[in-house]
Amino acid sequence: MRGNELLDKMELVEPAYMEAADVEPNRKKYSFIRLGAAAACFALLILAGTRLLPKDVPGFNADLPMLSISEITSPMGYEAYLAYDISELVSANPWNEADEISTLPVYRNPLFCGRTFADDYDKMKAFILDVAGRLGLDTDSLTVTDNSPDDETKRKIIEKCQAVGDPVPKGFFEPSALVIKSEGLKIEADRFLTAKVTFDPPAALPEEYNFTSHADYDDLAAVAEYLKSEYYDFIGIDDPQVNISGGDYNIHNQQSYYLSFFDAGGSYIEQIINYNFNGAVFSCNDSGELFIARIYQPDLSDKLGDYPIISPEQAKELLLGGNYITSVPFEIPGEEFIKKVELIYRTEGYDEYYMPYYRFYVEIPEAELENRLKTYGAYYVPAVESSYISDMPVWDGMLH
């Protein structure tokens, strides 16, 4: 039994502690369609196949390290989006399919190689104080703590674990974030340099703004302009670009969008990097008030190099040939069901490298709902030229 499962079964720890103990960040908000109990056991794609060494490949740059592909882990189900038409799924992704890109940077995830909380303490502290300063707080008078449980909570956890004959999960008491508490605000900064700001009480917007979970695109665009003005210093971007993304539905036929900002300044490549890594996200509560805001500023200092990039058409050929990773438990039904492609970086904590992928949205006919909502599954093909990938994924036709 895994540690979180054990503590959850014992009904011992508050949900907030369970979230805090999780080492993987919620970098992007994806829609996950839940699997049945049996299907959930084998929803992940196993990476199969072998690669020849890149001998005598024209133009191959031996100074660039070989890359490996991480599996997708999706305990909540599989990544898919519900919409009546693919055109409803939108974002402000600056990448354009018509633009030709020869290279893109690849970075090593600094937390993949056994770094500890203490190793990243100074970096986190500088980050959380910077965010506090953006909110107008006096950083010289703030107290920075961490989110490890207090002694009484530790004692209760140990006693409960002893009662059921299981040890406390390794590392459960270790902190995962630094914390600053101020009047009306709580700031938490984790090792991925994501800062979560909780407004207590939530901040009400003027009556003319509709900032609710299912506000339509135009309403959210108006909210974005208001927040950009009111929280310009907090966003911390000279040229903030509004990104209203989403447009997918839930099973109750309710459509949702998500509001964020990224830096639209700089070169085309810099805009792509900022869109994927650096930005600010604002979230509402059920009453339409500003409840949580996040700043993303991951450590991209370990750049491996600029890698040659394949075209979307080349990526589609790989997709149809089975060279992809996915959490979707359906084989691609045919080329005509490939409805959309976009270039993104996968930034999840379990990836060894932050590298670009083409994300294909594939319509899954057998998953269409009775109300005609279509299911678009997400399939990922590495955008880096395959000569630089040591374990190019191969779909083996099985659901493991």
In sequence order, the 6+-apart residues with CB closer than 8 A to the CB of 88 are 247, 248, 255
d(CA 295, CA 282) in angstroms, rounded, equals 9
d(CA 106, CA 96) in angstroms, rounded, equals 19
- pLDDT tens digit string along 41-70? 333 443 444 444 555 677 889 999 999 998
> For position 19, what pLDDT does the model report?
41
Q: Is the model's pLDDT at 14 over the cut of 60?
A: no
Closest CA to 195 of 294, 282, 119: 294
Q: Sketch the domain layout of the chain as residue ranges.
A: 42-113+303-388, 121-148+173-296
Q: Which residue has the higher pLDDT, 73 or 356?
A: 356
> For position 57, what pLDDT does the model report?
75
> Of 28-32, 47-51, 326-330, 346-350, where does the model show the most confidence?
326-330
- pLDDT tens digit string along 212-230? 999 999 999 999 999 999 9
Q: Is the model's pLDDT at 305 over the cut of 50?
A: yes
Q: Are 39 and 83 in contact (CB under 8 A)?
A: no
- pLDDT tens digit string along 121-139? 999 999 999 999 999 999 9
Share of the chain above pLDDT 70, in %: 84
Q: What is the DSSP string of 72-112?
A: P--TT-EEEEEESSGGG-B------TTS---EEEEEE-TTT
Instruction: Give the mean pLDDT of 313-334.
Output: 95
Q: Is the model's pLDDT at 7 over the cut of 60?
A: no
Q: Is the model's pLDDT at 3 over the cut of 70?
A: no
Instruction: Give the mean pLDDT of 300-306.
Output: 96
* CATH code 1.20.1430 for 121-148+173-296: no
Q: Are 347 and 112 in contact (CB under 8 A)?
A: no
Q: Which two tokens mark 170? A: 């390794």
pLDDT band at 173 (very low <50, low <70, confident <90, very high): confident
> For position 52, what pLDDT does the model report?
46
pLDDT band at 34 (very low <50, low <70, confident <90, very high): low
- pLDDT tens digit string along 228-276? 999 999 999 999 999 999 999 999 999 999 999 999 999 999 999 999 9
pLDDT band at 348 (very low <50, low <70, confident <90, very high): confident
Question: What is the reported pTM?
Answer: 0.84
> For position 43, what pLDDT does the model report?
39
- pLDDT tens digit string along 71-86? 876 556 899 999 999 9
Q: Is the model's pLDDT at 9 over the cut of 60?
A: no
Beta strands 194-203 and 240-249, pairing class = unpaired
> For position 77, what pLDDT does the model report?
83
Measured between alpha carbons, how far is residue 189 from residues 142, 227, 242, 257, 351 in Å?
A: 14, 22, 23, 25, 20
> For position 46, what pLDDT does the model report?
38
- pLDDT tens digit string along 69-123? 988 765 568 999 999 999 999 999 999 999 989 999 999 998 887 788 999 999 9
Instruction: Give the mean pLDDT of 325-330.
Output: 93
Q: Is the model's pLDDT at 299 over the cut of 80?
A: yes
Q: Are 292 and 198 in contact (CB under 8 A)?
A: yes
> For position 106, what pLDDT does the model report?
98
